[in-house]
Structure formats: C-alpha cells, structure tokens
Amino acid sequence: MTTLPVPAAVTAIRGRLVSFEPVAEGDQPRFVEDGLLVMAGGVVTAMGEAFDLLAHLPDGTRVVDHRPHLVMPGFVDPHLHMPQTQVIGSYGAELMEWLARYTFPEESRYGDPEIAGEAAVFLVDELLRSGTTTAAVYCTSHPVSVDAFFAEAARRDLRMVAGKVMMDRNAPPALLDTAQSGYDQSIALIERWHGQGRLEYAITPRFAPTSSPEQLEATGALARQHPSLHIQTHLSENHAEIAFVAELFPWSRDYLDVYERHGLVREKALFGHCIHLTERERAVLGERGASAIFCPTSNLFLGSGLFDRRGVAASGARIGLATDIGGGTSYSMLRTGAEAYKVLALQGQTLPAFDAFHMMTAGNAGAMGLGERIGRLAPGFEADVVVLDAQATPAMRRRMGRCETLAEELFVLLTMGDDRSVVATYAAGVKRHDRQNFDGPALPERPDAPSLAQPGFDPLKDTAQ
C-alpha cells in the first residue's frame, strides 16, 4: 500500500470508531473496535483499522489516542434559539405565555452587539462542550445577533446554519421588523454570511402568528430567489397556537397551508415541533421532502404534546431531533435522545440506541440537507467528531459493568450521559473542546438578577417583565 495522499498537517484519532449509516431501521452501524480516523484539510481522509492505517501515515502525523472511548460524528442539532440561553427553565407556562412573559422580553435585548456577542460565545462553547458541531439556529430579529453568532461560528470553523428571525406583528415593538425591512435585512445577511467558510444562511420567519400576510409574501419571494437556502420555522406545537393561526388566516385549511401558500414547504425547510399535525399536513411534508423536527425536552417542558415519530415517518417526511434551546432544557443531544425515547415510550413506540445515534448524527444531517457533508466518519466527509466516555460518572461506570454489546453501551450513554461524557469535540479536524482542559465558560453578569435568597421569592411573579 502507498502512503495516504494527504498533505503535512495530518491528524489522526485512534479509538473505537462508530458511524451510523443505516439504510433501514435495525441496520447496524459501522464499528471498528481499534480504529483510526485520519483527517487533513478539515476532512476525513481515511477511516479503518488502526493496524492497517498506522503503518502508512505520512511522516509527522499527530496521532491522538482516545482509546477506550467511542469516536463518532459530531452531533447535529437542527433547531435551537441563540438568544434563549437565559430563558431555559423559565417557570410554569405554555408556549404562548412563555413567549410573551419570558422569551420576547429577553430577545428584545439582542439589538445590543455586546449582549449578542457574549451570548454567541457562551452558546458555541456550550454546544462544543456537549459534542454538537452543527446546528440550525434562530437568532433574533436584530441583524447584529446574526452577525454575532456567525462571527463566533466562523472563529471556530464550524458548519452552522442560522438566520435572522422575521416577525412583524404580535410581539413587543423592540422585536418587530416590517415585511420590507425583514426582507432587506435577510438579503444583506445572506450576502454577508452565506457561503463564508462553512456558514449557511436560513430564511427564518419565526412562525405564522408573528408574520403578517405581507411578510409571508416577502418571505416567499426570498425563498423563490434563493431556492437552495434552508428555511426554518415552527409548526403545530401547541393547541392555542394552532387556534390562533386559524383565527389569523381564516382561509387556511390548516397551519401548514399558511406556509404552503407562500412557497415555504420544500426540501431543507425545517419545521420545528410538528406535534398536532393533520393527515393532510403530514402527507404534504412527506411529498415536499420537508423535515419535521422533534424537540422532546421542549415539548415536555412546555407541555406541548407528544411527537408521533411513527406517524410522521410513515408520511415520508424527514425527521430531525433537536434541543430547541431554550424551550428545551438541555444542550446535550444525549439527554435530548433520552427524552425522545421516553416521549415515544408513552405512545408505545421504541427508539433503539442505533436509531437514536443515527438521528443525532447522519439522520439530522440528512434532515438538514447536509447528509453529503457531515454526520458520518467516512472519507470526504467534514472532520467533525465527538469522543464519548460511557463511564463518565460512578453511576454509568457501575451500569456499564453489566453491558456486553455496543448497543447496550450506546443505550447507557443515551439514557445516563450528558456533557460529562464528552471527552473531546473536533470541528474540521481541529480539537475545539477538551474535557480535561475545560475550566468553564465565564458566567454572564447580571447585576439586576433577583436574589434567590429573598424570602418569598416567586419566580413567576417576581421576574415578570
């Protein structure tokens, strides 16, 4: 065998390689017990048995030995909100009240580039600490929030998809754009960021209730002018939301019809939640190759309902699995997968470990239309990698004492794992998080924070706007 065709700056990771590429449910992942992943120029150049590959590495290749840990593609999170890192865990409300009471006031601060910049650093740190290397991200309606997020993602050379939220009604004035300004700002941001490094712009109407028919019309025009761009929005999350959409758009057959009317249902359109879909809506998502994004921790936390994975899959729609920070309560895709398992269990459905990890990697990449670039450990794929420790805590170590198969180990990681299991995260072949060296992100300052020591403190009353 000849030397591998790679230039000087080659890094290789040795470990237990696993890549989830099943075609049908129940297919096995690709697993190499003593494997080597060779990376150069930001992509994987070889993946296979360490014994075979080590002998043929170019001189000077740095080999990082992560044995006995698992090495897999970095997690992909196809729905989260960058300005909601300080909204997570806001008490006691369903969607519409939660938006009005907590989320909109918080997002109103993000016209300040310093606030947006600090949050972007925190978010990206936290994603990498959780093993997530790609996400579909809602910023706020302020273009500076998108600048802040993309600048930070570019600094770490991440493949990220993000957009400016468009919303021109039913929200506080500080968050509103107009049909024209939302369109113009989106165009300017596409020109500034789309295709820079690994960044991709997503057309982002927040959801039907916060856009006028004129704004949806302008959004449809944007979508037509940019047919390859992602679109991200919310769909059918909560009964009150659905009733409000029916009131605002009395002509519509159902919620999805509002988006259909404006040409927003297509491939690479990511619809967050999709809990209470009609048969018609499911069928249209499937026919158009759109993606339904399952956000279990959010759906449980906000009491929104249970995502019917089997029913949505039967329609042929793609399905993604996401954190939905900050309606969602964890940045960890492991914890998200664990909650997905429980949501499905409540409906008599199952989620085998291989399926869950497939969803979190290649499946989510496919749901985002990025299945040719990320989500697999294979030559030519971008070298985004997470290294996982299934014995990260005493409880996991003890449970692992009874595990004999890879499926069992992965299921322990899924049900008991979180950021503590993330040993290292690599993006484009460069280590961007290392559990050993991590001394924690700086806590954001909030001098006006109410003191929890105060007698009689009521989070619902005392933090209301």
Q: Which of the listed partners (Zn ion, ligand GUN, none) does 255 bind, with a CB threshold of 5 to 8 Å by partner kind?
A: none
Task: Kindly state the smallest distance separating residue 232's Cβ from Zn ion, in Å.
Answer: 8
Cis geometry, peptide bond prior to residue 305 (ω within 30 degrees of 0): no
Q: Which residues contact 289 (CB under 8 A, 6 or more apart)?
A: 266, 267, 317, 318
Task: Kindly state the smallest distance separating residue 420's Cβ from Zn ion, in Å.
Answer: 26
Q: Which of the listed partners (ligand GUN, Zn ion, none) does 298 bind, with a CB threshold of 5 to 8 Å by partner kind?
A: ligand GUN
Q: Between 244 and 438, whose beta carbon lies closer to ligand GUN? A: 244
Burial of residue 187 (number of CB atoms within 10 Å: 0-12, 13-18, 19+): middle
The two structure tokens encoding residue 34: 């003593």
Q: Which of the listed partners (ligand GUN, Zn ion, none) does 95 bind, with a CB threshold of 5 to 8 Å by partner kind?
A: ligand GUN
User: Which residues form the interface with Zn ion (CB under 5 A)?
Assistant: 272, 324
Beta bridge mates, 422: 388
Q: Which of the listed partners (ligand GUN, Zn ion, none) does 206 bind, with a CB threshold of 5 to 8 Å by partner kind?
A: ligand GUN
Q: Between 81 and 230, whose beta carbon lies closer to ligand GUN? A: 81
Q: Which of the listed partners (ligand GUN, Zn ion, none) does 320 bind, with a CB threshold of 5 to 8 Å by partner kind?
A: none
CA distance 435 to 66: 12
CA distance 202 to 364: 16
Beta bridge mates, 203: 231
Q: Which of the listed partners (Zn ion, ligand GUN, none) does 142 bind, with a CB threshold of 5 to 8 Å by partner kind?
A: none
Residue 159 phi, psi (nearest 5): -85, 110
- Strand extents, DSSP E, 103-223: 132-138, 160-163, 165-166, 199-205
Q: Which residues contact 286 (CB under 8 A, 6 or more apart)?
A: 315, 316, 317
Residue for token pair 């075979």 = 52
Q: Between 320 and 417, whose beta carbon lies closer to ligand GUN? A: 320
Q: Which of the listed partners (Zn ion, ligand GUN, none) does 425 bind, with a CB threshold of 5 to 8 Å by partner kind?
A: none
Q: Which residues contact 119 (CB under 8 A, 6 or more apart)?
A: 82, 83, 85, 86, 110, 148, 444
Task: Kindly state the smallest distance separating residue 298's Cβ from ligand GUN, in Å.
Answer: 5
Q: Between 39 and 264, whose beta carbon lies closer to Zn ion? A: 264
Q: Are 235 and 312 in contact (CB under 8 A)?
A: no
Q: Between 173 and 447, whose beta carbon lies closer to ligand GUN? A: 173
CA distance 137 to 163: 7
Task: Kindly state the smallest distance separating residue 95's Cβ from ligand GUN, in Å.
Answer: 6
Q: Which of the listed partners (ligand GUN, Zn ion, none) does 419 bind, with a CB threshold of 5 to 8 Å by partner kind?
A: none
Three-point CA angle 91, 92, 98, nearest 5°: 85
Task: Kindly state the smallest distance separating residue 258's Cβ from ligand GUN, in Å.
Answer: 14
Task: Kindly state the smallest distance separating residue 106's Cβ from ligand GUN, in Å.
Answer: 10
User: Which residues form the interface with ligand GUN (CB under 6 A)?
Assistant: 81, 95, 99, 103, 206-207, 234, 237, 298, 324, 327
Q: Between 206 and 433, whose beta carbon lies closer to ligand GUN? A: 206
Task: Kindly state the smallest distance separating residue 374's Cβ from ligand GUN, in Å.
Answer: 25
Q: Which of the listed partners (ligand GUN, Zn ion, none) does 164 bind, with a CB threshold of 5 to 8 Å by partner kind?
A: none
Task: Kindly state the smallest distance separating residue 325's Cβ from Zn ion, in Å.
Answer: 9
Residue for token pair 């690599």 = 426
Three-point CA angle 140, 142, 144, nearest 5°: 110
Residue for token pair 């299945």 = 371
Q: Between 185 and 298, whose beta carbon lies closer to ligand GUN? A: 298
Q: Between 142 and 234, whose beta carbon lies closer to ligand GUN? A: 234
Task: Kindly state the smallest distance separating residue 99's Cβ from ligand GUN, in Å.
Answer: 6
Region for residue 334 given its phi and psi (left: phi exceeds 0; alpha: psi -120 to 50; beta: otherwise):
alpha
Q: Between 229 and 293, whose beta carbon lies closer to Zn ion? A: 293
Neighbours of 4 (CB within 10 A): 17
